[in-house]
Amino acid sequence: MGPEESVEITAPSVDEAIILGLTRLAATRDEVEIEVLEEERRGFLGIGARNACVRLTRRVTQVESPPIPEESVVVPVQMSVDEVVEPQPIVIEEISDAVPVVSVPAEIVEETRLPEREITPPVQAESEPAPPQSAPPAQTARLRDSRKEERVAESHTDLDREAIERTALEIAEHLFPELRVQASLRWKQEDRPTLWVSLHGRDADTLVGPRSQTLDAIQYLFRTIIHRKVEGDFNLVVDADGYRRRRRRGLESLARRMADQAVNTGRSVRLRPMPANERRVIHMLLRRDGRVRTESSGSGRHRAITIIPKRD
């Protein structure tokens, strides 16, 4: 079966389709004709996306006979006796029951020797003075915690909330120009200041997606843009049609029930895997419950929370 002469490839983009077609034909771009049948459409956040379709046809090439080489004239090169350099001999001395030793002339060694460089000691970067060696570990840890709390308090005090709110509204206006949604802002004080951007309106429910995947993508994009435009230590949560508010109430109810079950049975309870923002809700709620403690285990999508009862 001979090689294919023409193929039609469908892929998420035109470039990907061309690469796949060249691989199928085992050819380069110069050997085929490329015809774009349909351009890709990215849609909005994956909604209405469409793949690209490309046709690749192998070009018909004519085999040309190789040109007849012209007679070449060899011109002898004459060298004088003075220009001839005699090679330096390399002597190999045989030693019994040992590896042969190679003796290289001193002239070759001198020519190949690398120039010596002066080595200067590296300059040590200035760092924050370390605590005295005599200080105990507990005192050192308390000193670090106090410095961290001071830095966090200063960053929260210097937070320009008006500039952050103004930037968030501008992002919402440019991010959803074709959707009928309105944005309302509200600050919440959690472990750090958190700005809730609530989207409501006729098309707000379409921004949630299956298992909130579309909403999580919007939130990630929103956070990336706003943290590039304004500075400050703050968190941002994007909600659509009240989904995260309802989901948070459900997670809090689940956390209380599972904590009661762990205390009553005296055994640890492992919840199903959750994304990081949902695990954070459960950790923060049960942190105030003196009967249990929580810890996360696993990696990636399989990371889950385990509720462990405290024993007297």
177 and 219, same domain (yes or no): yes
Number of domains composing the chain: 3
Q: Is residue 23 part of a domain?
A: yes
**Residue 138 domain-assigned (yes or no):** no
215 lies in some domain: yes
pLDDT tens for the chain, residues 1 to 312: 556 788 898 888 888 788 888 878 877 788 889 998 888 877 666 566 788 898 989 887 655 555 555 554 444 445 544 444 455 554 444 444 444 444 445 544 444 444 444 444 444 444 444 444 544 554 554 555 555 545 544 445 578 999 999 999 998 888 887 788 899 999 988 778 999 999 999 888 888 888 888 888 889 888 989 999 998 899 999 999 999 989 999 999 999 999 999 999 999 999 999 988 889 999 999 999 999 999 999 988 889 999 999 986
Q: How far apart are the C-alpha atoms of 274 and 277, rounded to whole Å?
A: 8
In-domain check, residue 20: yes
C-beta separation of 296 from 304 below 8 A: yes
277 lies in which domain range?
A: 245-309
Is 104 inside any structural domain? no
- Domain harbouring 221, CATH code: 3.30.300.20
Give the span between the Cα atoms of 272 and 301, in whole angstroms: 10
| Residue 228 included in any domain | yes
Whether residue 249 is found in the same domain as residue 230: no
- Structural domain includes residue 101: no
Does residue 117 sit within a domain? no
* Residue 237 shares a structural domain with residue 288: no
Q: Would you give the DSSP letter of residue 9?
A: E
> Residue 250 sits in a domain of what CATH number?
3.30.1370.50
Last residue of a domain, one of 218, 241, 264: 241
Structure-derived torsion over alpha carbons of residues 178, 184, 188, 192, reported in degrees to the nearest 10: 40
Of 212, 241, 270, which residue is a domain's last? 241
* Domain match, 255 and 220 both: no
In terms of pTM, does the model score above 0.75? no
Show which of 241, 258, 289 is a domain's final residue: 241
> Token digits for 205?
């429910």
Are residues 221 and 249 both part of a single domain?
no
Q: Is 205 exposed, middle or buried (0-12, 13-18, 19+ CB in 10 A)?
A: middle
Angle, CA of 96, 101 and 107, to the nearest 5° = 155
